[in-house]
Structure 1
Amino acid sequence: MQIRTVLLPVATTIGLLVSGSISAQEMVIKLGHVSPMSGGQAHFGRDNANGAILAVEDLNAKGMTIGGKKVKFQLLNEDDAADPKQGTAVAQKLVDARVNGVIGHLNSGTTIPASKIYHDAGIPQISPSATNPKYTQQNFKGAFRVVANDSQLGGALGRYAVETLQAKQIAVIDDRTAYGQGVADEFVKGVKAKAPGMQIVRQYTNDKATDFNAILTAIKGKKPDVIFFGGMDNVAAPMLRQMKQLGINVKYMGGDGLCTTKLPELAGNGLGENQVICAEAGGVTGAKEKDMEQFHARYKKRFNMDVQLYAPYVYDAVMTMATAMQKANSAEPAKYLPELAKINYEGVTGTIAFDNKGDLKNGALTLFTYKGGKKEKMLVLR
């Protein structure tokens, strides 16, 4: 039978077999993918799912043979709504479906609890975007990520605030999620490493908040040079608007969660010129810049929308897992996991190789700002 390629913005399992009937000489490999396809982070979820779809379409178009059989990759796309409970529920659903591997989840707060379920089932997992260091500190042999972690990202931003921005007073706000708190804590460590005596004001919110007047008023009285926010763009945007209303005209820093092409749309006139400095986990230079540009063009042609953030990393995660299967000549998790652990894959986002914890070796970071309502690259750090 044939199944059309579709992507639904609801909690739906999508079987994606790109054209071609299944015969006795073909093997179906099931790949699970999980991201928030509903709620305030649905634009991230759709972006990630699109990256997975594009990779599976490419794999099926070029064809692959494993164990003497032609392979068809099937994508089971699940919605965790950025909620830990729903994340573990869909993780168990994918285990029950006997997937051969999992790409996801997007958020650290869902990736970490779900990883225990995949580990217990012996299913390899590659997160394209979870950055909390705890994910790979659990010593799960099948847990990997294809982006730099918060220690690298938050620390680099903290050092930049002190060394380049010459900040003397800093305020830090986080949304209390595993991601937001994690990247904020690492930012503080980076600041303290360069300026041990720096006074840092801490405030807290949540990942669904829209009113920050009390927090911002308290911060304004401390006269900070920099405000750092640990969280996502759907919360950062109203915060920026309210900062403008309160006359708080200072640099606003954050991690990859707010470093999106959608931030200008969400923030509107609250986004000042060169006001935001954010870091994206990943980054390319030299010849790889052309590869990334080509990916963005292909993505836009296929989905009629721009890449939001993580789609290239999702694409590479799928390709990395498929390459490990091919090298092992098997899609059985226990057989291809050793190949995945020692992989050296040249992807759109750069070279993908993992250390003994499953973290990306020599992970890059890219600093961005926003000018004229557009996201603009500043520099790539390693």
Structure 2
Amino acid sequence: MRHYLATALAVMSATGMIASAHAQEVVTIGHSAPLTGPQSVNGKDNENGARLAIEDLNKAGMTVAGKKVTFKLDSEDDQADPKVGVQVAQKLVDSGVVAVMGPYNSGVAIPASRVYSGAGVPMLPVASNPTLTKQGFKNIFRIGASDVQLGGTMATFAAGTLKAKTAAIVDDRTAYGQGVADEFASVAKAHGIQIVDREFTNSQATDFHSILTTIKGKNPDVIFFGGYAAQGAPMAKQMIQLGLRAKLLGGDGICSADMGHVAGDAASIVYCAQGGVSLDKTAAGRDFLKRYKDAYHTDTQVYAVNYYDGVKMLADAMVKAGTTTDKAKLTSALANEDYKGVAGTYSFDEYGDLKGAPTTVYVIKNSLPVPYGE
């Protein structure tokens, strides 16, 4: 009798353990970004934003379809390299992630998107090249502004506020850099700005004396740089050294604390655009900035808040879809989101672009981007 009772209790205990295990679910979200190399400060910033959201969700406790959900982040280094990005995409798909935050770079996101689309995995990138969302894929939800919005904003600012009549353009030949530069050129011309020179560099360069000497001979009012802070900062320094009178304009790639830290005093000639509104304008934004700095002991760069909002929105979509694993239902729920995050409201058009994505022009003061006019 004792043996029977002990066996019965053991079975009941095991059954209870299994039931308890089934009542909990671990959900892994992927993340693809440059975590090493010149752009690693941005990749880590994005990762930090996503991790902060996951920590908040896990602390609060969340259930989907009656099951308690614990979130994890699988963060992979795509090195800002298209080939590595495709390998990372396949690795994340094979590991069973439910969605992917990123990639950060357009040159990585465009080829990687084919892997994610083939697997039906939702991807939430900030990569801004318009081509990304014009491929006909239904699983892409861009959580930042596009090149059309960023480049166009800076061209309008150059014409209307800076009263620029002439401009030179430099881009780093990446999908991002060329894309945002093309949009600047298009809108600048529409505003009557004459493009007096167009030059090209690469995303590893640090010496721009030859290019800038050529541009100096054209004496433009502004120079628009399509690229990232790792190149934009030394470019600003060399513009000062060579005595160029032009202001340096750019998109979100140079609109970061890293730009200010590296460029130093030369950052005073920089004007740049970020998607969204200034975080210090709202209580939620100020709270995010404080919690981020408390957690990571550094200032945000550009997109940490978008990755934070993106993870929270993904969790919201899971609740609405009633599933963490059915990717088709998650994709449908994301397409119908109207999610109010810290940085703004996220809803998407038929292509997966943010509807009415606001942009803000910044200057660099005390090493940090500050909204123009403040």
Please give the TM-score of this superposition, normalised by the length of structure 1: 0.90
305, 313, 317: which one aligns with 2:310: 317
1:88 Cα deviation from its structure 2 partner: 0.4
105, 108, 117: which one aligns with 2:106: 108
1:284 Cα deviation from its structure 2 partner: 4.8
2:69 maps to amino acid = V
Match of 1:280 in 2: 274
1:355 Cα deviation from its structure 2 partner: 0.7
Q: Distance in 1 between matches of 2:307 and 2:224?
A: 27
Match of 2:118 in 1: 120
Q: Conserved in 2, the CA contact under 8 Å of 1:284 and 1:350?
A: no
Q: Distance in 2 between matches of 1:66 and 1:57?
A: 17
Q: Conserved in 2, the CA contact under 8 Å of 1:366 and 1:379?
A: no
Match of 1:175 in 2: 172
Q: Deviations over 1:202-238 (max 9, x none)?
A: 0000000011111000000001110110000010111
21, 46, 49: which one aligns with 1:48: 46
* 1:218-367 → structure 2 map (5 Å cutoff): 218-272=214-268, 275-284=269-278, 289-331=282-324, 332-367=326-361
Q: Conserved in 2, the CA contact under 8 Å of 1:183 and 1:255?
A: yes
2:113 maps to amino acid = S
Match of 2:187 in 1: 190
Q: Deviations over 1:178-206 (max 9, x none)?
A: 0000000000011011117x243100000
Distance 1:341 1:379, change over 3 A: farther
Match of 1:91 in 2: 89
Q: Conserved in 2, the CA contact under 8 Å of 1:324 and 1:336?
A: yes
Q: Distance in 2 between matches of 1:303 and 1:363?
A: 28
Q: Distance in 2 between matches of 1:56 and 1:374?
A: 27
Q: Percent identity?
A: 48
Q: Distance in 1 between matches of 2:78 and 2:258?
A: 21
Q: Distance in 2 between matches of 1:157 and 1:75?
A: 35
1:285 Cα deviation from its structure 2 partner: 7.9
Q: Distance in 1 between matches of 2:32 and 2:336?
A: 24
Q: Conserved in 2, the CA contact under 8 Å of 1:354 and 1:360?
A: yes
1:269 Cα deviation from its structure 2 partner: 3.4
2:203 maps to amino acid = D
Q: Distance in 1 between matches of 2:54 and 2:279?
A: 26
Q: Distance in 2 between matches of 1:293 and 1:110?
A: 32
Please give the TM-score of this superposition, normalised by the length of structure 2: 0.92
Equivalenced residues, count: 354
Match of 1:369 in 2: 363
1:168 Cα deviation from its structure 2 partner: 1.7
11, 24, 32: which one aligns with 2:22: 24
Match of 1:57 in 2: 55
Match of 2:6 in 1: none
Gaps of 5+ in 1: 1-21
**Higher helix proportion:** 2
Distance 1:174 1:253, change over 3 A: same
2:291 maps to amino acid = R
Q: Distance in 1 between matches of 2:163 and 2:227?
A: 23
Larger of the two Rg values belongs to structure = 2
